[in-house]
């Protein structure tokens, strides 16, 4: 990884951290669901290590 890429990633992480500090817990959870990290019931999606939902 180039130093410029590393610096860009660090800048983006810092910006994301600052944005998240302004959000409520519910807003953060809603965003994680919207972005596909969590399911609607707050579990990790299979893509990120959660278990697949059982068929009803």
pLDDT confidence bin for 53, thresholds 50/70/90: low
Question: Of how many residues is the chain composed?
Answer: 56
User: What is the 8-class DSSP label of residue 54?
Assistant: P
Q: Is residue 54 predicted with pLDDT exceeding 80?
A: no
The residue behind tokens 């059982």 is: 54
3-state SS, residue 37: coil
User: What is the 8-class DSSP label of residue 38?
Assistant: B
The answer to whether the CB of 52 falls within 8 A of the CB of 46 is yes
In sequence order, the β-bridge partners of residue 26 are none
| pTM for this predicted structure | 0.65
pLDDT digits (tens, 9 = 90+) for 16-47: 999 999 999 999 999 999 999 999 999 999 99
Alpha-helical segments (H) within the chain: 3-21, 25-34
């Amino acid at each position: 990884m180039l130093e410029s890429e590393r610096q860009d990633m660090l800048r983006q992480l810092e910006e994301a951290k600052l944005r998240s500090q302004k959000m409520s817990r519910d807003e953060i959870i809603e965003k994680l669901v919207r972005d596909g990290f969590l399911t609607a019931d707050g579990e990790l999606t299979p893509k990120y290590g959660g278990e697949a939902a059982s068929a009803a």
